[in-house]
Amino acid sequence: MTAEQAKHRQKMKRIIVIFNLMLYTLTSCSAQSIDLFYLVDLEENTGYKVGFISLSNIYPLSEHPDSLAIPNLDTIENKNLLQYFKLTEEYRKRFLTKSKISEADSVFIYDYSSDILRSFAVKNLNVAASLSIYRDINEYPLGQYDYQIGFEINKKQLSGIMQYGALAFVGKSNPFQKGQMKPIVWSKITSKEFPNNKISKPNLIQKSKSENSYLYNSDNYDYFVKDYTITIQDNGYEYDIKKRLLIVINKRNGKAIIERLFSDSEGTSVAPLNFGIDNSSQTDLKEQWIGKLFKDKPEVFFGFEWVSFGCPNIIFLNSKEKDIYINCDNRH
């Protein structure tokens, strides 16, 4: 690869990353009231026994030589060092300043599946750069747009926490409410038991190929799900698309307060119901959850679809509250 080709390739990668982050900001961050992040385990991909919280979604990057997020990597001969490295004090301060994080803040990590909450003072945490899983240490050149920047947590301090779904928040005080989240256990019902008269757009499911209906009862609400398949014909091709209609009904007045439609697409797929409940070997993979996740917010529910492009959202039972999209740094 010539120097000119390498320069062009690096420029295109920057454009793609910037576009993805801008798209995420336009579609979700405007509605954000609480910035949430994921805790992930880096040991499998990097060999480093650390938990990592990428905050790249809130870290604005600059190409000015005095404002780069990471040092110049061109002089590093040992390529293995490019996979993951801690930032020096200079770059750490730059990260905190641009991300509007104070040394007096704390990182709160909550695993709702095990109801474990931990907090860590920012002043005691390393800031590190982890190479994106869509990049390779043998690619050249590597720059700041190829890395996730965030906090490193020693795995020994994360005992009992599931590191592929635990939520993280950075701030002055803990926003999470302990002890009030639980997995949804669905009961299958007949099609006649589904409240079709509550559907605001019944034409959505009139041409369904097959369907199954489910119910979950909480103290104050009934959650109804209708999973169905429709057949699409496009340019001589025929294929099926799975869809899921969710309706939440207030038991007190019988009114539908939430109606959501989930669908298989290029970037999403309908998540299975009762997966971690019916499968005894996969009890840690419960998908749908409900309860009071935040201290000063209404109850929430989530886990109805898998997202491959973009980031998953948390839905409030109060329709006046906008969804919270998790900053998952899902770059491609």
pLDDT tens string 89-127? 999 999 999 999 999 999 999 999 999 999 999 999 999
**Which residues, including other chains, have CB under 8 Å from residue 35's CB and lie 6 or more apart?**
58, 169, 170, 327
The 187-189 sheet, strands edge to edge = 187-189, 210-217, 221-234, 237-250, 256-263
Phi and psi dihedrals of 309, rounded to 5? Answer: -120, 125
CB atoms within 10 A of CB 57: 26
Q: Are 27 and 310 in contact (CB under 8 A)?
A: yes
**Which residues, including other chains, have CB under 8 Å from residue 32's CB and lie 6 or more apart?**
324, 325
Lowest-pLDDT range, 42-46, 128-132, 141-145, 237-241? 42-46
pLDDT at residue 235, as a whole number: 84
pLDDT at residue 178, as a whole number: 98
Mean pLDDT for all residues in the chain: 87
Q: Are 184 and 223 in contact (CB under 8 A)?
A: yes
CA-CA-CA-CA torsion sign (146, 62, 32, 28): negative
Lowest-pLDDT range, 33-47, 153-167, 276-290? 276-290
74-82: long-range contacts, CB 8 A cutoff, minimum separation 24: 74/141, 79/137, 79/138, 80/137, 82/131, 82/137, 82/142
The pTM score is 0.85
Residue 12 has pLDDT above 70, yes or no: no
Residue 31 has pLDDT above 60, yes or no: no
- One-letter identity of residue 260: R
Give the strand pairing for 126-131 and 237-250: unpaired
H or E stretch at 74: none
Cα–Cα distance, 256 to 249 (Å, whole number): 4
Residue 19 has pLDDT above 90, yes or no: no
Phi and psi dihedrals of 166, rounded to 5? Answer: -65, 140
Q: Are 183 and 276 in contact (CB under 8 A)?
A: yes
Place of tokens 């704390």: 106
Residue 315 has pLDDT above 90, yes or no: yes
Residues of the chain by 3-state class (helix, strand, coil), percent to 5: 25, 35, 40
Task: Give CA separation, 115 vs 65, 170, 177, 181, 305, in Å.
Answer: 44, 18, 9, 8, 23
**Which residues, including other chains, have CB under 8 Å from residue 154's CB and lie 6 or more apart?**
49, 50, 51
Task: Give me the percent of the chain exceeding a pLDDT of 90.
Answer: 62
The per-residue b/e assignment along 271-294, b for 16 or more CB within 10 angstroms, e otherwise, is bebbebbeeeeeeeebbbbbbbbb
Q: Are 116 and 161 in contact (CB under 8 A)?
A: yes
For range 21-34, the mean pLDDT: 47
